[in-house]
Structure 1
Amino acid sequence: MIIPVRCFTCGKVIGNKWEKYLNLQLGEYSPGDALDALGVRRYCCRRMLLTHVDLIQKLLHYNPSRRAHSALSGVAQ
């Protein structure tokens, strides 16, 4: 989904680091080095960025109104 704004454990703001983290990873940085460069030191905050799965692009293809319309008309998809 979308990266959380704050760490679930300690409450530190991490949402602003996601784009920078991705850009560093596309460059020459490993995931751990990218987090070090961003100043993310706590294990809980590192976990939030390392284990995040970005599913928003896949969810944008889902159209709930189309499904509701087909269910009402009796047409299976």
Structure 2
Amino acid sequence: MIIPIRCFTCGKVIGNKWEEYIKLLQEENTEGDALDALKLKRYCCRRMLLSHVDLIEKLLNYSPLEK
């Protein structure tokens, strides 16, 4: 859905890094290089960005009032 604001394990703020991470990946950087550029050193924080599945665009196609 939406990227979590904080890392579940250590509590570091990571929500502000998602857009920059996507931009770095679109510039054909590897995932590891992008995470290094964002200065994410802890594997728990790196996991939060690597394993995130962005479903919000798909969910916006459905209306909650639709029956």
TM over 0.5: yes
Which one has a larger percent helix, Structure 1 or Structure 2?
1
What pairs up with 1:1-77 in 2 under 5 angstroms? 1-67=1-67
Work out the percentage of aligned pairs sharing the same amino acid. Answer: 70
Report the aligned-residue RMSD.
0.6
| Larger of the two Rg values belongs to structure | 1
Task: Give CA deviations for 1:17-40 in whole Å, capped at 9, x if unaligned.
Answer: 000000000003100000001100
When the two structures are aligned, how many residues end up with a matched partner? 67
Superposed CA offset, 1:22-62 (max 9, x none): 00000031000000011000000000000000000000011
Matches of 1:30 and 1:46 in 2, distance apart? 13
Q: TM-score, normalised by structure 1?
A: 0.84
- The letter of the residue matching 1:54 is D
Structure 2 residue ranges without an equivalent (≥5): none
- Choose between structure 1 and 2 for higher RCO, CA contacts under 8 A separated by at least 6 residues: 2
